[in-house]
Structure 1
Amino acid sequence: MSLILFIEQALNGLQYGVMLFLMAAGLTLVFGVMGLINLAHGSLYMIGAFAAAAVAGATGSFLLALVASLVCAAFAGVLVEFFVIRRLYDRDHLDQVLATFALILIFSEGTRWIFGSFPLFLDKPDWLSGTVMLPFGIEYSLYRLWIILVGLLVAAGLFWMIGRTRIGIRIRAGENDREMIAALGVNISLLYTFVFALGAALAGLAGALIGAIQSVQVGMGEPVLILAFVVIVIGGIGSIKGALVGAILVGLTDTLGRSFLPSFFGLFLEPSSAMSIGASLSSMSIYLLMIGVLLFRPKGLFGGI
């Protein structure tokens, strides 16, 4: 294993982790502040990806496509919160799971009806194509490096908003005692709508960014949603810091495991056995990571926003 290959795969893991953070940040905000299990969060990721692909195809502008992903996902989030989620706050988690699972089916069939069953493709702009030379002679994808930068900037913006702004104070207060801040005159319904729309916009942005790497298709959000749940369990439910750290851990563990575990077992076993065991363990690695964290930190690595 060369050092250059390891660094390249670590950067790939970081890029994957940043994308998972954009999904998990909105999910952990919604659960931490609103106490809501939202299985339809992956559908908002899909909506952002389809909106970006459609706008990029119509206008040829990648930046306009990213704006469309944010706006469309946030608008879909507002509609969902107003017409469906608002009726679930005082219901138990089983009702929330059933209702948001129904939303998955509605969004999937609606997207298939509008765009068809064939995947769409979102091309990278010319200014993000190609590679960039990094230290140690590492040639790395400019677009993947840009995703890392965007994700870290979004994370910094979230930390600033939660810790330094009035709306952040209200969000933190809403997580701790929603009845009290409602009694103090805060419009709790409007706050919940804002939090849900923010989470939806982040999911839509994640879908748009990843849409230029893989195809945009119906159902693309559900596998990512499962990983986002793993991230917030590892990081701690309701914690933005935990979502970032957990996402990077999951991204690195998954990427490095898939890249190097088969080779590691190849040192001791026959090639066919090494590939089989390495592939099996690499697919299990993030869940083994989650089990390891929960054994020592049952509430995750961090608690609270």
Structure 2
Amino acid sequence: MTFVLFAEQVLNGLQLGVMLFLMASGLTLVFGVMGLINLAHGSLYMIGAFAAAVVAAATGSFLLALAASLAAAAAAGAIVEILVIRRLYARDHLDQVLATFALILIFSEGTRWIFGSFPLYLNVPDYLAGPITLPGGIQYPLYRLSLIAIGLTVAGMLYLMIARTRLGIQIRAGEADREMIAALGVDISRLYTIVFAIGAALAGLAGALVGTIQSVQVGMGEPVLILAFVVIVIGGIGSIKGALVGAILVGLTDTLGGVLLPRFFATFMENSSATSAGSALASMLIYLLMAAVLFLRPKGLFGDAA
């Protein structure tokens, strides 16, 4: 494997990782503050993608499409929290799982009823189309590089919000002792709605950004949700820093494993068998990584961090 090809795959893994972070950060934020297992988080990812596709088709503006994805997912998240999730905080996790699984079915069938079963498509804007030449002669799509920059920028902004703002102080206090901050006069219901809306908006943004790489279709959020859960388990539940590190680890492991393992097996197997064995093992690598992390650190890499 040449250096250029390896560098391209590392960038692909980093791009996948930062998109997973946008999903996982909202999921771990909700679980850390509310103690809620939200299986419908992938549906909010789907809502953001559909909102972006519809607005882009109507206006031709990619920036307006991103704004629509944020607004639609945040609004859907706030409505769901007020109407459904608010009744689940005092219930056990099994009730939360069943209720949020029902929301997946409602969102999927509702989206299919509105938009039909055929996929929608988002086009890469002209100013982000085409490749860019990086040091070392690496040709890499400008849009994918922009996804990395956007994801890392959002990670920095989320860190500053958690660490430096009044809302962030309330969120961190809510993770530590929600009864205490309620006694100090913080409106817990309002805080929970805001946190849920922020998590939903991050998922919706991820859906819109990925919607230009793959088709926008019903059920697109469920496979990503599984990877997001792997990320937060590896990084540590409730840790934003852990979500970023875990997402990048998962993205690099998944991408590089799919490229390097077939080549490794090809050194002592015929090509067809090497491709089959390498692909099969590559699909298991992220779960082996999760098992190894849990064996060494049962709470995840940053399970005790904010």
For normalisation by structure 2, the TM-score amounts to 0.99
Deviation of residue 232 (structure 1)? Answer: 0.1
- What are the equivalent positions in structure 2 for 1:120-131 lying under 5 Å apart? 120-131=120-131
- Aligned residue for 2:139, secondary structure, equals strand
Counterpart residue identity of residue 90, structure 1: A
Deviation of residue 82 (structure 1)? Answer: 0.2
- What are the equivalent positions in structure 2 for 1:184-223 lying under 5 Å apart? 184-223=184-223
Deviation of residue 214 (structure 1)? Answer: 0.4
Aligned partner of 1:87 in structure 2 is 87
1:58, 1:178 → 2: CA distance? Answer: 44
Counterpart residue identity of residue 267, structure 1: T
Aligned partner of 2:40 in structure 1 is 40
Counterpart residue identity of residue 234, structure 2: I
2:208, 2:233 → 1: CA distance? Answer: 25
1:119, 1:18 → 2: CA distance? Answer: 24
Residue 279 in 1 paired to residue 282 in 2? Answer: no
Aligned partner of 2:174 in structure 1 is 174
Q: Deviations over 1:61-87 (max 9, x none)?
A: 000000000000000000000000000
Aligned partner of 2:117 in structure 1 is 117
Aligned partner of 1:14 in structure 2 is 14
Deviation of residue 275 (structure 1)? Answer: 1.1
Q: Deviations over 1:10-37 (max 9, x none)?
A: 0000000000000000000000000000
1:272, 1:105 → 2: CA distance? Answer: 39
Aligned partner of 1:66 in structure 2 is 66
1:160, 1:12 → 2: CA distance? Answer: 26
Deviation of residue 125 (structure 1)? Answer: 0.5
- Aligned residue for 1:136, secondary structure, equals coil
- The count of corresponding residues between Structure 1 and Structure 2 is 305
Deviation of residue 276 (structure 1)? Answer: 1.4
Q: Deviations over 1:187-238 (max 9, x none)?
A: 0100000000000000000000000000000000000000000000000000
2:268, 2:297 → 1: CA distance? Answer: 34
Deviation of residue 259 (structure 1)? Answer: 1.1
Over 6 Å off, 4+ runs: none
Aligned partner of 1:243 in structure 2 is 243
Deviation of residue 277 (structure 1)? Answer: 1.0
Q: % of aligned pairs identical?
A: 78
2:278, 2:131 → 1: CA distance? Answer: 30
- Aligned residue for 1:160, secondary structure, equals helix
Counterpart residue identity of residue 106, structure 2: I
- Aligned residue for 2:136, secondary structure, equals helix
For normalisation by structure 1, the TM-score amounts to 0.99
1:172, 1:265 → 2: CA distance? Answer: 47
Q: Deviations over 1:245-288 (max 9, x none)?
A: 00000000000011111011100112122111101110001001
